[in-house]
Amino acid sequence: MHIHILGICGTFMGGLAVLAKEAGHKVTGCDANVYPPMSTQLRAQGIELIEGYGQHQLSLQPDLYVVGNVVSRGNSLMETIMNRGLPYMSGPQWMGEYILHDKWVLAVAGTHGKTTTASMLAWILEQAGYNPGFLIGGVPLNFGISARLGGTAAEAPFFVIEADEYDTAFFDKRSKFIHYRPRTTILNNLEYDHADIFPDLAAIETQFHHLIRTVPAIGRIVANGAEESLKRVVARGCWSEVEWFNDASPDSWGMVEHDDGRFDVYHKGQRQGTVNWYLTGAHNRWNAVAAIAAARHTGVPPAQAIDSLSTFQNVKRRMEVRGVVNNITVIDDFAHHPTAIATTVEGLRRKLGQSRILAVLEPRSNTMKLGTMKNALPGSLSEADLVFGFGAKGEGKEALGWDLAAALAPLGEKARAFDDLSTLVEAVASAAQPGDSILVMSNGGFGGIHQKLLDALQALVRS
């Protein structure tokens, strides 16, 4: 089959393209912005990329157009496809029908931690010799790639997928994860997010319950018992086995932390082993417990899964050290929701003790740009010593619709807001002292700020 992918340079659609090519399909694609690193990765796979959505692409005559959710009505190529009655399908539906249909799918859902938990789960299955396929919204350092097909269904039936609750396409407003039909499902947490498409938390809970409805009776749901939202979702009806973690019940999965960051894993009150690793934060410990519990459903003993996590290397852009200059460490993290920001800062604080944290934040997600959660920012950044916020003013999709300086005002003099990247870099570099950690948090490229900060720090050393 020849598929032509509209919106191919997004994380999900780019991963889908790699899987389709690996599965033997001919793959071409287009996007409004074709640039590295995704363009480099796709071209290395022999995938032809076209800049923009020109109607001349119809001459490719693919068997099917696969449409990403970045494409909306009014897109010139999409309108012509529809007017001519040409076949098209959403990316998640194509995944479900052509990649996942004969797999044991392990889906990782939740507001936070999907990428990290999916990466842990894939690594546990890999270490168990299962050769799993996966599609993850980041690059697990253990694998160096975000997607792979794995073996045939007979050889390696397991496929780990990051299950996103965002909508599927302009013509399918169900969450993406509805198309995956998992046998094993992790429900990590559930908070209000995606204010651009969901009016409230109840609307997201409904989508999560739709996911539960797709899990077969022989399936298993591993859910966070500390989340009242998830308990409400399960209470609406569940036809599969449920195992809770982070819950007070005697049958649940739990953990006990050591002072050095190691932690013991318990199931039904019985200690299963100790995870020895370098990751920080309670959120990562619970991510690990969820992955261990889910892997057990596939036959991996908890003790073996625990041992596998001792070699887990995390994911790019999750507390990733980008460089050190003059004993000042620049760290990159994907945190963008206030809860994720808080857990990231708190985890780093625990690791560093009294050393200073300079938090540099770009609130650029759709939810943050709408200002829905701006009042939660000061609390999420309270553990940082200095806070530098960046928000472009004016018109356009990157502009904030609210006053960042006013939102950060409760933090007092330790917080400053900027609308010019160069000025921000200069301010952060000037404030940094040996022993500090500069924690950069954004779900985008942030204008290449990480290297700019390292260059600015190096320039100060030379001067």
Q: Do 147 and 241 fall within a single domain?
A: yes
DSSP 8-state class, residue 310: G
β-bridge mates for residue 386, sequence order? 358
Query: Is 368 inside a domain boundary?
Result: yes
CB neighbour list of residue 5: distance below 8 Å, 6 or more residues apart: 13, 16, 17, 27, 28, 29, 30, 65, 66, 68, 91
Q: Are the C-beta atoms of 286 and 266 separated by less than 8 Å? A: no
Tokens of 77: 């190529």
| Residues 8-38 pLDDT 10s | 988 899 999 999 999 999 999 999 987 667 7
Q: Do 70 and 181 fall within a single domain?
A: no
Report d(CA 50, CA 4) in Å as an integer: 10
In this predicted structure, what is the pLDDT of residue 39? 78
In this predicted structure, what is the pLDDT of residue 36? 67
Q: Do 175 and 42 fall within a single domain?
A: no
> Which domain covers residue 80, as residue numbers?
2-90
Q: Do 28 and 132 fall within a single domain?
A: no
Report d(CA 421, CA 427) in Å as an integer: 10
Q: What angle do CA 111, 117, 119 make, to 5 degrees?
A: 130
Q: How many CA atoms lie within 13 A of 81 on its CB side?
A: 26
Domain end: 311, 328, 349, which one?
311
Among candidate residues 218, 237, 399, 381, the one with its CA nearest the CA of residue 298:
218
E strand or H helix that includes residue 41:
helix 38-44
Query: Is 248 inside a domain boundary?
Result: yes
Q: Are the C-beta atoms of 108 and 114 separated by less than 8 Å? A: yes
pTM of the model: 0.80
Give residue for tokens 């997600």: 365
For residue 137, the domain's CATH number is 3.40.1190.10
Q: Are the C-beta atoms of 151 and 167 separated by less than 8 Å? A: no
DSSP 8-state class, residue 140: B
For residue 406, the domain's CATH number is 3.90.190.20
Domain end: 293, 311, 329, which one?
311
Q: Do 287 and 152 fall within a single domain?
A: yes
Report d(CA 21, CA 24) in Å as an integer: 5
E strand or H helix that includes residue 242:
strand 241-245
In this predicted structure, what is the pLDDT of residue 397? 53
Q: Do 16 and 138 fall within a single domain?
A: no
Report d(CA 245, CA 221) in Å as an integer: 11
| Regions in the chain scoring below 70 on pLDDT | 35-36, 152-156, 367, 393-399
In this predicted structure, what is the pLDDT of residue 398? 57
Task: Give the rounded percent of residues in the chain with a pLDDT score beyond 90.
Answer: 70
E strand or H helix that includes residue 307:
helix 302-308
Among candidate residues 189, 182, 198, 196, the one with its CA nearest the CA of residue 240:
182
Q: What angle do CA 211, 338, 360 make, to 5 degrees?
A: 130
DSSP 8-state class, residue 313: -
Domain end: 41, 71, 90, which one?
90
Report d(CA 15, CA 10) in Å as an integer: 8
| Residue 38, Ramachandran bin (φ over 0: left; ψ between -120 and 50: alpha; else beta) | alpha
Pairing of strands 133-135, 147-148: antiparallel
Query: Is 124 inside a domain boundary?
Result: yes
In this predicted structure, what is the pLDDT of residue 149? 93
Q: Do 141 and 266 fall within a single domain?
A: yes
Can you count the helices (H) and strands (E) in the chain?
Answer: 15, 23
Query: Is 95 inside a domain boundary?
Result: no
DSSP 8-state class, residue 215: S
Q: Do 105 and 218 fall within a single domain?
A: yes
| Residues 261-300 pLDDT 10s | 899 999 999 999 999 998 878 889 999 999 999 999 999 9
Query: Is 341 inside a domain boundary?
Result: yes
Query: Is 176 inside a domain boundary?
Result: yes
Query: Is 406 inside a domain boundary?
Result: yes
Report d(CA 428, CA 422) in Å as an integer: 10
In this predicted structure, what is the pLDDT of residue 352? 87
How many structural domains compose the chain? 3
Q: Do 246 and 125 fall within a single domain?
A: yes
In this predicted structure, what is the pLDDT of residue 393? 62
In this predicted structure, what is the pLDDT of residue 153? 61
Report d(CA 369, CA 245) in Å as an integer: 33
Query: Is 155 inside a domain boundary?
Result: yes
Q: Do 124 and 42 fall within a single domain?
A: no
Report d(CA 197, CA 367) in Å as an integer: 9
Q: Do 54 and 6 fall within a single domain?
A: yes
Coil vs helix vs strand at 80 = helix
Q: Do 193 and 154 fall within a single domain?
A: yes
